[in-house]
Amino acid sequence: MSDVEMSEAGKAKIIDGNAIAKQVRQSISESIAQLKSTNPTFHAPHLVIFQLGSSPASSTYIRMKLKAAEESGMTVEHIQIQSDAESGATSGTGVKKVLEAVQKANQDEKVSGILVQLPLEGAGKTEEKAVVDSVDVSKDVDGFHPENIGLLSSRIGEPHFVPCTPAGAIKLIESTGFDLKGSNVVVLGRSDIVGTPVCALLRKKDATVTQCHSRTKNLEQIVSTADVLVAAIGQAEFVKGDWIKPGAIVIDVGTNYIPDSTKKSGQRLVGDVHFESAAKVASYITPVPGGVGPMTVAMLMNNTFQAAKKAYESRRAKQLTPLPLEIKEKVPSDIEIAVAQTPKPVALIAEEIGVHPDEVESYGRYKAKIELSVLDRLKERLDGKYIVVAGITPTPLGEGKSTTTIGLAQALGAHLQKTAIACVRQPSQGPTFGVKGGAAGGGYSQVIPMTEFNLHLTGDIHAVTAANNLLAAAIDARMFHEATQSDKGLFNRLCPAKKGVRTFSKPMLARLHKQGVNKTDPNELTEEEAAKFARLDIDPATLTWNRVLDTNDRYLRQITVGQAPTEKGLERKTAFDIAVASECMAVLALSKDLADMRARLGRMVIASSKAGEPITAEDIGCAGAMAVLMKDAIKPTIMQTLEGTPVFVHAGPFANIAHGNSSIIADRIALKLAGIEQGDDESRNGYVITEAGFGADIGMEKFCNIKTRVSGLSPNAVVLVATIRALKMHGGGPAVTPGKPLDVVYTQENLELLEKGCANLGKHIENAKKFGLKVVVAINQFTNDTPAEMELVQKFALNAGADYAVPANHWAKGGEGAVELAKAVIDACSEPSTFKFLYDLNQPLKAKIEIIAKEMYGADGISLSPEAEEEVARYEKQGYGGLPICMAKTALSLSDDPSKKGVPTGFTLPIRNVRLSAGASFVYPLVGDMSTMPGLTTRPGFYDIDLNPDTGDIEGLF
């Protein structure tokens, strides 16, 4: 017989659990150090141990685990919660607190493993099970979760984690060199913690397992057949030596205390096996203590290490599951395509890009808000690649920037397996019900559900409308009250005594500070200070704040307010703007966080006083209330494309008087989610595709000179969208008018006209290069475009300085039609950004305006009206001269005249007025007549939009 079959000289070899456990801990420590050296962002595993009550036995076990974690190179946190008996709380309070703490740890990315120390003092078995079951299965390092137990018993499944004591027992058996395959193993015990799981593990090792318990008949005879005995029956020295087969391996899991007068405590620890008699028969045996106990703790450390590795790999994994597209040769209408696709639940989309469940605020099944806390969680992550999509000077029909943005995101995410997030603006209801239609993209490159995207979404525009109109109402009310009250009466009403005490509100203190008054008690103000504080003295001629409405309504372009008898004849002329033209919307888009938005709302200048001082929303007193109305609007909305890739929809500032880009917050969150960790291979990097409104001379220029200045983000490349249709128009083709059929020159090949019009594309390429950007021209293919026309534009673009020029057919083919475009974008982003600004902010306002006019539009110079000259002087005097410029100009021409196509020359750019958006932090010159309230045509789009009364479906939405 071998040593395994018979003990040598009648003495079993001791299986030293302490020594083996030490080796395991040392191996874990070395593995952690190795991982950290090759992966700088891999942090040491972090174990959290929860204890209810203060049981001495539990506390002893926890101290062992704390020491083992330290030796293994891990961090550990012991959270002890008072039992109901200790705190005097009602029954179940302690268990509830443990459950709450476990849920918090489940959601904490820094926590690798969670251990609930059993028993929970004062808790019943049902309550204990509820707590154990509440541990996230991916952090259940004890291996007690029902899913882990179930998978352990499965022949084809593997548990996330194996229970520690059974795993330790197997490790001890294997340390002897014994081959378990085909061997007879007897397991004494049927607990869920040891007996049953150890049987499952042994079966997976191809052992023949007999599971017994204290009531098993012929137990002694069964034990005597075992090559390996695992005793976990919970009875002191239950198994005698004469039961054991000579040469068997004995693994004693028992921990029992028996009286022993020789010990100071009066008791000693023994196992389930009578050690002295068994050691004379067995070949190997585990002592108690010093056998299975240390191994249980060591395997807990191993499970925690494995949990940390799995979590790290999971965070780095590309998990997107694309939605298949059913492409039809004859492309159906946008809404038909959109409703034919079944979206993924928005929670799944968020999970796929690494957003935690507690960072998602669902608005139904297919749209949700993303909490800004994700930015803090991912602050150490490097940003992904940043691409802005712009376009040539468009026709009134648009050239497909939104469609290209979505198609490119689909190509990168669904076809090239990159993390790709599109960031787009929320569309206004003005164009949706007017002429242009929705802005969800088109064909097989859309945001879905497109009906929700185009209608209300998560209510951000309504929040902006409410905040804007609250300020408008406050302005008129303040002007009325100042006109009808004395200084003293006004002050007393602004600071009334409440229970005999007068106080200043927060915005009042801000106004006092602005005036250099540091007093906080209204009673301490001098008569002069009180009068200056109370009376804003707004100059009505300088008032720029209008009410807004998210509907095209030409009859609100000029209105008279104050006609009711109660307003005492204080009438004035004013107007409504469309909601997305509100400075509140621009503030939303340019805010970096909630505090920044609150500060920007307060800084918005609504007029000047008669003394020439700027009057702000903070002076009016309602900036805080406006921030409350917009507190949820600051969170980006997450949706998806037709192919199931993520889209962030956020903010919708007007693209002429504002900067026409989606929000900084959406871009920042997207860049972190798409980014990589320090030390990661560059090939893992993801892409954020953000869209800039109108032509590149407007949207891209403002993106570069305004948005990136505020955000501090540097774009890697620009995608310039060009169409054959628009280029033919710039070559001299007839006007393209919404609602009218296209002229034949746009539906048939015409290379001569096209070649002339390419000059417009060339100018936009030149402009993009001035910002140091890589330029990728996307030739958005329409149905009537011919191969010769596409080739002509491609060659021209490359000769004009574009880095890439790629035909794209994403409208008809989805992401597949933009794969070559996506590859060009990846290549363009392979080198570090060389981005630079067009002008220095320290230059005078007029100089900055002139630089844009000359460099971007090709003007010979600028001409300011007398009013504009006065406004520039006033803003510089008030301290706003260092702001960037946001040109309000037609999008239909590089010049101020929309009828001038191609690349106009020999013109001077007229500046009619100059307006200030102090909250958004830019000055916007008005070039010609710019309408901020569109009108409805004779035949608006709402004629086609209806609700199916039988199904509730929306019909006719473009």
Q: Are 210 and 183 in contact (CB under 8 A)?
A: no
Residue 939 pLDDT level (bands cut at 50, 70, 90): low
* 433/560: higher pLDDT: 560
Calculate mean pLDDT across residues 664-682: 92
The arithmetic mean of pLDDT across residues 216-233, rounded, is 95
- What is the per-residue pLDDT across 875-914, written as a single tens digit (0 to 9) for each? 999 999 999 999 999 999 999 999 999 999 999 999 999 9
Mean pLDDT, residues 664-671: 98
Question: pLDDT tens, 80-132?
Answer: 999 999 999 999 999 999 999 999 999 888 899 999 999 999 999 999 999 99
The answer to whether the CB of 789 falls within 8 A of the CB of 756 is: no
Q: How far apart are CA 89 and CA 97, in angstroms?
A: 11
pLDDT of 364 higher than 50: yes
So what's the pLDDT on residue 956? Answer: 67
How far is residue 742 from each of residues 207, 394, 665, 728, measured CA to CA in Å? Answer: 79, 15, 40, 12
pLDDT recorded at residue 642: 98
Residue-level pLDDT at 957 = 67
What superfamily would CATH give domain 334-355+369-458+632-829?
P-loop containing nucleotide triphosphate hydrolases (3.40.50.300)
State the CB neighbour count (10 A cutoff) for residue 663: 31
Write down the pLDDT at residue 656.
76
Q: What is the pLDDT of residue 948?
A: 77
Sign of CA dihedral 496, 502, 507, 510: positive
With bands split at pLDDT 50, 70 and 90, how would you rate the model's confidence at 340? very high
What pLDDT shows up at residue 411?
98
Rounded distance, CA 776 to CA 827, Å?
10
Closest CA to 704 of 868, 833, 846: 833
Q: What is the mean pLDDT of the chain?
A: 92
Structure tokens at 514: 């602005």
Q: Mean pLDDT throughout 521-526?
A: 94
Say which range, 167-171, 376-380, 687-691, 708-712, has the weakest mean pLDDT: 376-380
Look at 379-393, 420-434, 847-861 and tell me which has the smallest mean pLDDT. 420-434
Predicted pLDDT at 732? 95
Segment 797-817, tens digit of pLDDT: 999 999 999 999 999 999 999
* Mean per-residue pLDDT, 477-503: 93
Where exactly are the structural domains of the chain? 334-355+369-458+632-829, 462-630, 845-926
Amino acid in position 834: T
Distance of CA 391 to the CA centre of its chain: 27
Which pLDDT band holds residue 775 (cuts at 50, 70, 90)? very high
Where in the sequence numbering do the catalytic residues fall? 65
65, 300 Cβ separation under 8 angstroms = yes
Side-chain half-sphere exposure of 799, counting CA atoms within 13 A: 9
- Structure-token match 């009410």, residue found: 547
| Share above pLDDT 70 across residues of the chain, in percent, rounded to a whole number | 97
pLDDT band at 737 (very low <50, low <70, confident <90, very high): confident
Quick: pLDDT tens for 170-205: 999 999 999 999 999 999 999 888 999 999 999 999
What is the structure's pLDDT at 438?
62
pLDDT digits (tens, 9 = 90+) for 787-799: 999 999 999 999 9
For the domain made up of 845-926, give the CATH fold: Formyltetrahydrofolate synthetase; domain 3 (3.10.410)
- The pLDDT assigned to 455 comes to 85
User: Quick one: fold of 462-630?
Assistant: Domain 2, N(10)-formyltetrahydrofolate synthetase (3.30.1510)
Digit-coded pLDDT (tens) for 129-163: 999 999 999 999 999 888 888 888 887 778 899 99
d(CA 779, CA 723): 6
